[in-house]
Structure 1
Amino acid sequence: MTDRPVPEGEDDAGLKMNAGFYRLRRMSTTDFAPGDRFDAWRETAYTIADLEVPRAGEAELFGTKYAVHGALGNFASHAGSVHRTVITPATRLSGALDAIIISLMAEGSVGLESPGGEQPITSTGRLVAYDATKAMRYHWSVGKEIYVVLPRAKALAAFGGELPGLVLPLDTIPLGVMVRDHMAALDLHADHLDRKEMAIALDALHTLALLLLQRIGRGLSDRDEPDPNALFLAAKRYIHANYNVSDLSPEAIARAVGCSRASLYRAFAHNDATIMDTVRDVRLAMSRRLIEAGTGRSISVIAFDCGFKDVSSFGKLFRSRFGVSPSVWREQFS
């Protein structure tokens, strides 16, 4: 890394991006000659923790990694063989640990060992947060970790103080599950996103991650009102995932994203929107896509599949939005 400022540019949508941001960088142990592999991999793939020398009898070191640097923080995925990483005093003094890690164990597990010998295990599928300044040694099984790196000061400000213990579970509330799913989806599709798409997806993920820390922290100490923009984004994601639920209500959405109904109303008002108008708009957009797809389903089935309780009211809403009835719209794609 260099301290030299990197020129900024602006894409055709007016999105300002640092020249080094939102570019997918891939690496693998196979990029290096066998004799240089360990030292080169330790130097290239590890910036927060130091890779320990393999122990006798362990399988040959293997790993693949990609990383994306963003304006709000970083995103990365690492898969590989059994290994251990350690936080050294030198690393602590370097400032490289100035981060909170949001970690999803997509495969395998990791144990975080404290100086006192404590070693909580994070298993497959769990989403957790840990403070990189606390844990001393990480015991990685064969597996894959997807993780978000947040600036420590910003993350702790959202949480409202120091993280308790070595590992903080985050998927204990619906918003945590949403963040976990967003991370998995971004990992799956990263290769297929252009730079602008990556910027939007990654910035949204970091905003959701900070909101999640804020929500967990508020649940522990019953503190502040969540950021309205982040809450609005989280609610919209939940609506997109559950538009087909006919009784989707402000109360249900508020419970899912971990806030009061009043806070949710304020977040939508802050963004010049209303909750039920947003639900209706998402349902209409999805119904139009299904009609255009020519699935063979009747208009009434599509209406019910998109959360509308009444076919007649669906037809009126569809005509009001798109100018023609659902059946006429279908004829255009026959």
Structure 2
Amino acid sequence: MARNAPAQDARQDASWSSTGLNRPDAIDAWREWAASTIAPIEVEVFDPNAFAARWTSHGIGQLRLLHIHAPAQRVTHVGADGMAMRATPSIQLVYARSGVLKTTMGGRTFDVAPGQFVLLDNTRFYQMEMATPHEAIDLMMPQGWLERYLPDPAALLGRAIAANAGWGAPLGAFIETIMDGGLEAAPLPRPLIAEQFGSLLALATGTPNAAETVRSIGRHKNQLAARILRQIERDYADPELSPETVAGEVGISKRYLQTLLAASGTSFVAELNATRLDRASDLLTDPRAAGLAIADVAYRTGFLDPAYFARLFRKRFGITPRQWRAGNAPLS
């Protein structure tokens, strides 16, 4: 199972290059992608005749990690009020890998040098000017997700933070590991990798109560697991109920659902069958259902195969459904 996770996660990835395109079309495609993916944006390429750019995009849980190689240019994020918002509202972690990102935001100008990162709000105005070709990482984080780790992201916007020293160094090393192919070889599903981003960002920014932030991750996992179990309790009678269905309802991937339940020592199939069998045992002793055939009890509790239901029932309770109905249920 674990070996299939990278291939499944890779479906969330995409890439583009200007190679082979004529320059006007390449520049138009570059601007269109930036406006629809990053922010409402205006792009001024300083030397259109030498334009060359490429990007890769990786889905990591609710996050989107963009690896950008870009020419010398000026990008102006005009904000949600200045242009129609097509990109998802996000807090961006922009990490300079090579080239200086001269940034203007909130009435001041500062540099983001290689090895530093800055947090920006893609619904607000800011400008970045790069005098040379550059390489950057842009991690797009929904604000609701980020607030689990940084209670007040707005207070951290627009200041360069070192990702190669102090508590920023683990975050920088984490980013570099991913960029060096670590995402494909990661032993964890991508939603769990996203959580590591949140924890390391809390440390790198010096967010108070970082330990409580890390503990809150555990609480969040428990809450998700509880939601999964409640969904099974509610929809157990649906014979089509599946991990994919429940994961979609909860807002996570099937892989992450399986990981959460495994951490609790169980699985989706085990919980679903246990719930169905418990409901079947109740129905078999309910006087109002005395006229139901055993097969109908199986169908009403989500089993399409009465013989399979009978085998599971006997394995669980030690007697057949018919014996249970006859009053031979164990006392304990």
TM range (shorter): 0.5 to 0.7
| Counterpart-to-counterpart distance in 1, 2:116 and 2:87 | 25
Query: Number of paired residues?
Result: 215
Residues of 2 paired with 1:151 and 1:125: CA distance?
23
Return the letter of the residue paired with 2:213.
P
2:90 is equivalent to residue 104 of structure 1: no
Give the aligned partner of residue 178 of structure 2.
186
> Please, which runs of 5 or more residues in structure 2 have no aligned partner?
219-262, 265-332
After superposition, what is the alpha-carbon deviation per residue over 1:151-184, rounded to whole angstroms, capped at 9, x for unaligned? 1122134211123341252538644211211211
Whichever residue aligns with residue 119 of structure 1, its letter is T
| Contact 1:70-1:199 at 8 Å conserved across structures | no
Question: What secondary structure does 1:160 align onto?
Answer: coil
Distance 1:24 1:31 in 2: 21
> In structure 2, do the counterparts of structure 1 residues 78 and 86 end up closer, same or farther at CA, with 3 Å as the change threshold?
same
What CA distance in whole angstroms lies between the structure 2 residues aligned with 1:222 and 1:172?
22
Is 2:64 the partner of 1:74?
Answer: yes
**Could you say which residue in structure 2 is the equivalent of 1:40?**
29
CA distance in 1, matches of 2:156, 2:67: 25
Name 1:124's counterpart in structure 2.
Answer: 114
Alignment equivalent of 1:225, drawn from 194, 198, 212: 212
* CA distance in structure 2 between the partners assigned to 1:199 and 1:79 by the alignment: 27
User: What's the TM-score once normalised by structure 2's chain length?
Assistant: 0.54
Q: Residues 233-312 of structure 1: matches in 2 within 5 Å?
A: none
Whole-angstrom distance in 1 between the partners of 2:90 and 2:74: 19
State the partner residue of 2:194.
206
Look up the match of 1:143.
134
Give the whole-Å Cα distance in 2 for the aligned partners of 1:22 and 1:176: 30
Q: Does 1:164 align with 2:156?
A: yes
User: Structure 1 205/170 Cα, relative in aligned 2: closer, same or farther at 3 Å?
Assistant: farther
CA distance in 2, matches of 1:53, 1:171: 28
Please state whether the residue corresponding to 2:44 is helix, strand or coil: coil
Change (3 A) 1:135 1:221: farther
* Distance (Å, rounded) in 2 between the aligned partners of 1:189 and 1:94: 32
Contact 2:63 2:140 in 1 (8 A): yes
Structure 1: stretches of 5+ with no match in the other structure = 1-11, 232-270, 273-334
Aligned to 2:169: 177
Q: Distance in 2 between matches of 1:122 and 1:135?
A: 17
Q: Is residue 215 from structure 1 mapped to residue 203 from structure 2 by the alignment? A: yes
- CA 1:135 to 1:25, structure 2 compared with 1: closer, same or farther past 3 Å? same
1:52-103 deviation per Cα after TM superposition (whole angstroms, max 9, x unaligned): 2334x67622211111123231112111210121222457652625212223
Q: Supply the RMSD in Å over aligned alpha carbons.
A: 3.6
Correspondence for 2:77: 87
What SS is found at the alignment partner of 2:178? helix
Contact 1:75 1:202 in 2 (8 A): no
Q: Structure 1 residues 73 and 124 mapped into 2: Cα distance closer, same or farther (>3 Å)?
A: same
Q: CA deviation at 1:188?
A: 1.6
Q: TM-score, normalised by structure 1?
A: 0.53
SS in 2 for 1:200: coil
CA distance in 1, matches of 2:149, 2:167: 15
Change (3 A) 1:105 1:89: closer
Distance 2:91 2:5 in 1: 25
What is the DSSP-based 3-state SS (H/G/I as helix, E as strand, rest coil) of the residue aligned with 1:119? strand
Letter in 1 for 2:212: E
CA contact (8 A) 2:16 2:55 kept: yes
Say if 1:128 and 1:171, in contact at 8 Å, map to a contact too: no
Distance in 2 between residues matched to 1:201 and 1:83, nearest whole Å: 36
CA offsets 1:217-248 (integer angstroms, 9 cap, x no match): 6x4545761324869xxxxxxxxxxxxxxxxx
